[in-house]
């Protein structure tokens, strides 16, 4: 191997090592800072080096975020199940069924992927604030605050996920009709066909949807900050930890660590299927 090629490879590895450290440094800071005493934490230069494992700090941090954990897990479970179910039904309909206007309706659905979500925040807020017969509103949505500050506002949107339908539609397109014809001959109905025949074949795409949905709901901050700020009982984890910004202490980092590890664990467990699902569906980064 020539010296020029060796030098190029060495520089490439050096660049990857340095850039990886820069990206991982904030995560390492949180993990190490969570298990460091305050004196050692404030004496650290580059990264805090832990010298103890304080179970009391873990217990205190859990007590501070457990309610937000339960709220967030409830939202994650609701939206993951809803996304998989609607994505399967929608993907199957647009891929395997033939009906007038199918292509046009699918393009209309995909328009939801290109529309910036921030542009919809104001009309969405007005809609939930004027929700009829809720929060003191009359039938015409006047006189009260609607769903603002109430728990249903965390679950009212996102019931038709365009990305899930698109991803599973692409995956359904790659499966031959032989599976469906064989199942129909055995007397299988729609739900048997979907959940007994197609689901095992779509595991990579479904895993990709689980990861994407989990991360988006777990990290959701903007919508709760606009709509649920007055109801502390229903603060999700992202909004509950907002008060820790600028608070540099091991206790704060322990709570941040508790919010950090679930999405990281989900991604690490499903990353192989996540990559396979996106590649198999023809999505390129």
pLDDT in tens, 269-279: 877 776 665 55
What's residue 274's pLDDT? 66
In this predicted structure, the answer to whether residue 84 has a pLDDT above a threshold of 90 is: yes
The tokens describing 118, both together, are 């921030």
Confidence of residue 27 (pLDDT cuts 50, 70, 90): confident
Domains delineated in the chain: 1-53 (no CATH), 66-280 (1.10.3720.10)
Q: How far apart are CA 210 and CA 76, in angstroms?
A: 9
CA distance 224 to 237: 10
CA distance 223 to 131: 17
Using CA atoms, how far residue 240 sits from 61, 146, 147, in Å, is 12, 23, 20
Q: What is the pLDDT of residues 40-79, one digit of tens each?
A: 777 777 777 777 666 677 777 788 788 888 999 999 999 9
Nearest to 67 by CA among 216, 243, 240, 215: 240
Q: Encode pLDDT of 121-138 as tens digits.
A: 889 999 999 999 888 888
What's the CA dihedral at 178, 180, 181, 184 to 10 degrees? 160
């Amino acid at each position: 191997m020539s010296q020029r090629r060796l030098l190029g490879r060495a520089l490439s590895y050096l660049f990857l090592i340095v850039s990886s450290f820069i990206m991982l440094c904030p995560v390492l800071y949180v993990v190490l800072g969570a298990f460091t005493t305050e004196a050692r934490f404030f004496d650290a230069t580059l990264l805090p080096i832990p010298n103890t494992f304080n179970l009391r700090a873990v217990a205190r941090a859990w007590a501070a975020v457990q309610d937000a954990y339960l709220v967030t897990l409830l939202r994650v479970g609701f939206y993951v199940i809803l996304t998989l179910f609607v994505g399967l039904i929608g993907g199957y309909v647009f891929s395997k069924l033939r009906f007038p206007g199918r292509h046009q309706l699918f393009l209309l659905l995909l328009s939801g992927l290109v529309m910036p979500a921030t542009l919809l925040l104001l009309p969405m807020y007005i809609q939930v604030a004027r929700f009829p017969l809720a929060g003191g509103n009359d039938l015409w949505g006047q006189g009260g605050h609607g769903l603002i500050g109430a728990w249903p506002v965390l679950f009212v949107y996102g019931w038709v996920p365009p990305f899930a339908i698109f991803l599973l539609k692409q995956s359904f397109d790659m499966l031959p009709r032989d599976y469906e014809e064989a199942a129909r001959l055995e007397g299988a109905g729609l739900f048997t066909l979907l959940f007994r025949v197609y689901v095992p074949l779509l595991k990579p795409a479904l895993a990709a949807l689980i990861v994407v949905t989990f991360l988006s709901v777990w990290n959701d901050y903007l919508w709760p900050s606009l709509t649920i700020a007055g109801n502390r009982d229903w603060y999700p984890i992202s909004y509950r930890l907002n008060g820790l910004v600028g608070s540099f202490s091991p206790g704060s980092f322990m709570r941040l660590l508790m919010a950090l590890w679930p999405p990281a664990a989900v991604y690490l467990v499903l990353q192989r299927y996540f990559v396979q699902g996106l590649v198999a569906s023809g999505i390129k980064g």
